[in-house]
Amino acid sequence: MKVEDVLSLMETEEVVCVDLRFTDLKGKLQHMTLAAEMVDGDLFEEGFMFDGSSVAGWKSIDQSDMKLMPDPASAYLDPFYAEKTLCLHCDVVEPDTGEPYSRDPRSTAARAEAYLRACGIGDVSYWGPEAEFFLFDDVRYAVTPQKVSYEIDAAAAAWNTDASFEMGNTGHRAPHKGAYFPVNPIDEGQDIRGEMLSTMKRMGIKVDKHHHEVATCQHELGMIFGGLVEQADNMQKYKYVIHNVAHAYGKSATFMPKPMKGDNGSGMHVNMSIWRDGKPLFAGDKYADLSQEALWFIGGILKHAKALNALTNPSTNSYKRLIPGFEAPVLRAYSARNRSGCVRIPWTESPKAKRVEARFPDPSANPYLCFAALLMAGIDGIRNKIDSGPASDKDLYDLPPEELESIPTVCGSLREALEELEKDMDFLLAGDVFTRDQLDAHIRLKWEEVYAYEHTPHPIEYAMYYAC
C-alpha cells in the first residue's frame, strides 16, 4: 500500500482509530492509538512524537524525544479491538536529524537487507520462520523473597489422564513427547488453531498450515516465506494473534522456549534463501544440490553461532531447551538428512525452493534482530569464503563419545552467549547494520536478566540441598 491507499482504506472501512506499532529492543510489540481524524498524509511525512525514555534499553530521560514513522505498506485492520482500528508498523527515527534510531530493531532489519544488495551478493532474501508455542488453561507464578514458584495446567495436558473434571474425563490425551500429528479428540487444538490461521490470513499474512507439535499442549502455525522486514513484521503479528485468540478462548499462550520439564521445548526454525537477478543463489551442484555460496553461508552461521545465540536465543530459559543429548539442535553441524545439527537443508525438488534452515533459534528472539543477525553471519561466510566443513549425515546423538566430542556446540547459557557476542560482533557491525551502541544496550539489558536469574534460588535447589 501507498499513503493514498491507506487513507482510502480508512474511509472505506470507516476506521475509528489508528494503532501505531513498534518493537522494543527486547522484541515486544508496543503501540499508541490515535483517533482517525488525526491521521492524514502529513503523519506519514512528519511522524508522531513519543517518549523514548520509557522504553527499556532506549533513551535517557534527558534525550527522551523520539519519532514514529508509519510504514504504509504494513497497514492491516486489527481483528480484536471493539472499535474499527487500522494498524501501522513504524520505524523509529531521531526527531532532530530524521535518521533511523540506532537501537530500533526494524531499522536494523532494513539495513541488513540494504547491505545484502550493497555487497552485490543478492537482490533479496526470503525468510520462513516456524515458531512453536504452548497453550495452557491456568498459569500462576511468584518470585518473592519467601516464594519462588510456578504452576501450569491444561485440561488437555498429558498429566491429567486421572484428573477429576465436573463434566467427566474423556481420557483422550497424547503422552509426553507423543503429541505430534494425532487427529482430534486427542488433538484438542484443531479449532483454536484454525481460528488463529484464518485470523492471520484476514490480516494479510500468507499462511499454509497448522498442527499439534510433539510436546503436550504445544502447537505451530505456518507462514509462507517473505522478505526480511516483512516476515519480522509478520512474526510480530503471529505472536499477537496467538496471544489474543488464546485469550478469547480463555487460554494462555506462551512463546517461552521451555515452560515445563520433561517435554520438548519450543523452537523457531528459520528458513533462509537469497536470490540474485531473479535466480535462487543457493541452488547448485554441491552437497544436497546447494551452491558454493550456500555452503559459505552455512559456514558463516556455524562460525558465528555462539555470538548469534545472544540474539537468536536471548533468554535464560532458551538454554533449558538447548541441552546436548536431546532433540534440540545444539551441535554446530549441518545436514540434509537429520535434524540433530543446528543447520539443516530441507529436501526439495525445485531449485527455487532451495534454502538453509537454522534450527537453534527460538521464539523468545526479537525477530528483526534474529533475522538480521543470521543474514549478516551468512553474508560474512560468503564474503570471506568460510568453509562449512563436511556435512554430518549420521545421527549426531548416536555417535561414539569420542566422535561426539569433536563436534563444537552452541552456547550453554545466556551468560556464555553474551560473553561470546562481546568477543565476536564485527560481522554484525559491517555496513553499519548493527551499531556498537545498539549491541551494548542489548547486552546490558540481558545481563540484568542473567543476574536476576543467577541471584534467585530455584525450587530444585531446595529439593537437592535443603537437608544438606
Please give the Cα distance from 343 to 336 (Å, whole number): 9
Residue 113 annotated as catalytic: no
pLDDT tens-digit series, residues 174-224: 899 888 989 999 899 999 999 999 999 999 999 999 999 999 999 999 999
pTM of the model: 0.96
pLDDT of residue 352: 95
Check 106, 212, 359, 442 and give the catalytic one: 359
Q: What is the distance between the terminal CA atoms of the chain, rounded to a whole angstrom? A: 66
Q: What per-residue confidence (pLDDT) applies to 104?
A: 96
Parallel/antiparallel/unpaired status of strands 341-344 and 331-335: parallel
* 359 given a catalytic annotation: yes
Residue in 198, 235, 199 with CA at minimum distance from that of residue 78: 199
Catalytic status, residue 14: no
Residues 6+ apart with CB under 8 A from 28: none
pLDDT of the residue at 89: 98
Share of the chain above pLDDT 90, in %: 87
CATH homologous superfamily of domain 124-465? Glutamine synthetase/guanido kinase, catalytic domain (3.30.590.10)
DSSP 8-state symbol, 183: P
Identify the active-site residue in 176, 211, 339, 415: 339
- The reply, when asked if residue 327 is annotated as ligand binding, is yes
Quote the mean pLDDT of the chain: 94
**Tens of pLDDT, residues 1-23:** 899 999 999 999 999 999 999 99
Q: Is 213 annotated as a binding residue?
A: yes
Tell me if 233 is assigned to a ligand binding site: no
**Torsions phi, psi for 408 (to 5 deg):** -70, 160
**Cell triple for residue 284?**
547448485
Question: Which residues of 353-420 form beta strands (DSSP E)?
Answer: 356-358
- What integer is the mean pLDDT of 373-401? 90
pLDDT of 225: 95
| 60 pLDDT more than 80 | no
Distance CA 430, CA 427 (A): 6
Is the separation of the CB atoms in 296 and 386 below 8 Å? yes
Statement: residue 404 has pLDDT above 90? no
Annotated catalytic residue: which of 24, 78, 132, 362?
Answer: 132
State yes or no: is 355 an active-site residue.
Answer: no
Lowest mean pLDDT among 75-79, 339-343, 347-351: 339-343
Instruction: Given the residues 78, 104, 113, 220, select the one marked as catalytic.
Output: 220
> pLDDT of 436-464, one tens digit each?
999 999 999 999 999 999 999 999 999 99
94 marked as part of a ligand binding site: no
Provide mean pLDDT across the span 88-113: 95
Determine the pLDDT at residue 138.
97
Domain ranges of the chain: 3-101, 124-465
User: Per-residue DSSP letters for 397-432?
Assistant: GGS-HHHHTTS-B--SSHHHHHHHHHHS-HHHHGGG
Q: Catalytic annotation on 213?
A: yes
CATH of region 3-101: 3.10.20.70
Q: Of 30-34, 305-309, 402-406, 420-424, which gets the smallest average pLDDT?
A: 402-406
Cα–Cα dist 273/276, whole Å:
10
Annotated ligand binding at 132? The verdict is: yes
Average confidence (pLDDT) over 131-150 = 96
